[in-house]
């Protein structure tokens, strides 16, 4: 029996896995960044009021 040549599907599957996991981690990082930006805005508003 000849082993089928289907390496392109393996590459496609692992590339898709990498992209999905990278997007997941990027979502976490972007969410953390947004929280920091909101905190910064909050502090600026507070400083403006106190100043």
Partner 1 sequence: MATVSAVSEGSRPPADLLRVEYPAWRTRLLLGLSVVTFLSMFVMLYMVFFYAGTDAVQGHAQRLFYVHVSSYAGGSVAFFVTVIAGIAYLVTRNIKWDQLAVSSVEVGLPLMTVCLVTGSTWARPIWNTWWTADPRLNGMAIMWLLYAAYLVLRGAIEDPDRRARFAAIYGILAFASVVYVFLIPRVRDDTLHPVVIGPSAANPMAEGGFEVRTDARIGATMGVAMTWWCVAAVVLLWHRVRLENTARRLEALKAHFLAKQG
Residues in contact with partner 1 by the rule CB under 8 A: 1, 3-7, 9-10, 12-14, 16-17, 20-21, 23-25, 28, 31-32, 35-36, 38-40, 42-43, 45-47, 50
Residues across the chain: 51
Residues 46 and 49: their CA atoms lie apart, in Å, by 5
Q: Tell me how far, at minimum, the Cβ of 38 lies from partner 1, in Å.
A: 6
Q: Tell me how far, at minimum, the Cβ of 25 lies from partner 1, in Å.
A: 8
Q: Tell me how far, at minimum, the Cβ of 51 lies from partner 1, in Å.
A: 10
- Token duo for residue 8: 């392109």
Q: Quote the DSSP letter at residue 5.
A: -
């Amino acid at each position: 029996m000849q082993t089928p040549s289907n390496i392109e599907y393996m590459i496609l599957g692992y590339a898709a896995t990498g992209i999905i996991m990278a997007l997941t981690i990027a979502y976490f990082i972007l969410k953390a960044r947004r929280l920091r930006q909101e905190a910064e805005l909050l502090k600026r508003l507070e400083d403006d009021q106190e100043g």
